[in-house]
Structure 1
């Protein structure tokens, strides 16, 4: 113990010299040196301290992103999560249009066995995880899910269960479990640490529709909604991560991007308020303009109600426009392009034949105008998709679709890509700006509330950067020394 105290004193003094202000620090033992201390006591004390640290500090949490928006390739963005003890890896689709994280479980009916995405599919088995437990109907987290329609109760075994039906007709059902989620977190600068937290997630034992197909199969869906059952809400309630998350999805062929629980900080971000008391991320879309000219669309078409409104949904590949506005929008695009561009129909979609000597830059700029003066400016590549080649030309089609009989507008990956999007759930607003998502970004855990810890997201998933010079390296070595001594104790 005397040697340990001496090392602590030396390390603290060295750290003060590195910072440029030599100071002698007096360290006192928390336990007297005249008798031994049981390891159980030390572990209990450390455990209490760790809980206090987690409850008082928000961390930035990083998730790796793979996939692309391109329907001819992947057609979705997905990330990797680690669940259970020992940890197992699962690939899950990033979906801001739903709340719950769920993964395929053993004995699943309809779950695909292989994936065309060249990833190894896994099944979660609660019995093989030493930290797993089932969620009963009396659990407060289950009651919260029942209120938001994300859960229900089985009268037979008092088990918390779920049944989800998605917009494409696919579905899943299963039961809820609680287990550890392991993730990369960052706090106080650029130090990457491994952390874990207990979360409730779905164990899928039945899948239907497109979820059963192997071409784009993943292990599950990661819902980033704002209801109580979402991982965002669960980690926020535990004081581990802020109630804000951000993504920047690359639109090129390599795909990938950035996904963090935290606020990406960029000076050009514009914000618009969320429609309150909605299950999804609904926005107040007020008008659409093409080349600066407002389209003659009744604003009531975009009003939010039980069966209409404008939703931001990363789980949708394309984008959809309310049926009453669709024809006006397509006609405005067609009228704005040169007459040399041939207009064609392909499988009911409005398309255009462009010669090799031309490019899509001749197409007009589109602005989706939202409450608060925030406009989502769309370049041609944000609303056009290349279909195929014909002779010496190529066919480009409008990627916006319409759902017959529906008045809902859905902003999917087609328009979300190549932009920073910030979902400030605590502040009830969403912000965005155009951005090259292959570049690093600054992330804050403060959600616009003053104190910011800016980090380079390019470092979140890997080793700590040493670009800040020897002072940073020495500080990190000293921190490693402190941690090593704590482990010895």
Structure 2
């Protein structure tokens, strides 16, 4: 049985390895604000009607390997230390332990791990039922026979966006084509018509 860890709210002041990201850092970038009094790079991330605002800090992330016995890998990463949260990030179950950067930008955790040659620039996630723990694995490339699909990359707003060309439910197949965004911050799927009706109607045949 996996032991559940009790996590405390992260505080840079209570960490002996934490340091604020200075304004002249390449990871700060021209789109972020600078708190000149403390020479600290600030951030603001918008997520629908929610937002997280704070400062960027460097600290050590403790990772475990898939080996047996497990090895521990300590690596310095950059992440946002939120000081003001709004919307969903304040609700029960949302963002209580923080927001983990898994995007395509150079400041995201997978990108930083890859730049340090710790893992490949990829990750996989497994959501768990309420009350249990999910899993995230950095550097996961999948199986050798796994199929892949290209991303629809947009330089102005890079997201995990793909084109779906076919939907299959049981033995029912339809050649619907639409774009879909995979959001690592959501554990549900939202579909528009006509894909929604096709999937919902076919699922009724199997329930």
Fold agreement, TM-score > 0.5:
yes
Q: What number of residue pairs does the alignment pair up?
A: 202
Q: Please, what is the CA RMSD of the aligned residues?
A: 3.2
Match of 1:192 among 63, 66, 70: 70
Gaps of 5+ in 1: 1-64, 67-79, 81-88, 90-119, 303-308, 338-359, 364-379, 381-489
Match of 1:141 among 15, 20, 27: 27
CA contact (8 A) 1:163 1:172 kept: yes
Structure number with the bigger relative contact order (C-alpha 8 A, sep ≥ 6) is 1
CA 1:128–1:276: 2 relative to 1, 3 Å:
same
Q: TM-score, normalised by structure 2?
A: 0.79
Deviations 1:246-295 (A, max 9, x none): 23445x67754542112254355211111234511111223446612335
Q: Counterpart of 1:294? A: 175
- The reply to whether residue 314 of structure 1 matches residue 184 of structure 2 is yes
Deviations 1:444-469 (A, max 9, x none): xxxxxxxxxxxxxxxxxxxxxxxxxx
The DSSP-based 3-state class of the residue aligned with 1:141 is coil
CA 1:215–1:225: 2 relative to 1, 3 Å:
closer
Displacement, 1:204? 0.9
Displacement, 1:137? 0.9
Distance 1:275 1:292 in 2: 24
CA 1:137–1:280: 2 relative to 1, 3 Å:
same
- The reply to whether residue 218 of structure 1 matches residue 96 of structure 2 is yes
Matches within 5 A, 1:448-463: none
Q: Counterpart of 2:52? A: 172
Distance 1:161 1:245 in 2: 26
- The reply to whether residue 260 of structure 1 matches residue 137 of structure 2 is yes
Distance 2:183 2:52 in 1: 19
- The reply to whether residue 281 of structure 1 matches residue 160 of structure 2 is yes
CA 1:316–1:196: 2 relative to 1, 3 Å:
same
Q: Counterpart of 2:33? A: 152
CA contact (8 A) 1:249 1:255 kept: no
Q: Counterpart of 2:8? A: 122
CA 1:280–1:293: 2 relative to 1, 3 Å:
closer
Match of 2:84 among 206, 214, 223: 206
CA 1:209–1:129: 2 relative to 1, 3 Å:
same
Distance 2:175 2:166 in 1: 7
Indicate the larger mover: 269-278 or 175-184.
269-278
Q: TM-score, normalised by structure 1?
A: 0.37
CA 1:276–1:256: 2 relative to 1, 3 Å:
same
The DSSP-based 3-state class of the residue aligned with 2:111 is helix
CA contact (8 A) 1:244 1:262 kept: yes
Higher strand share: 1
CA contact (8 A) 1:121 1:218 kept: no
CA 1:160–1:222: 2 relative to 1, 3 Å:
same
CA 1:175–1:246: 2 relative to 1, 3 Å:
same
Deviations 1:152-205 (A, max 9, x none): 3234543200011112x121100111111112135xx53421221111111111
CA 1:215–1:292: 2 relative to 1, 3 Å:
closer
The DSSP-based 3-state class of the residue aligned with 1:200 is strand
Matches within 5 A, 1:75-86: none
CA contact (8 A) 2:50 2:88 kept: yes
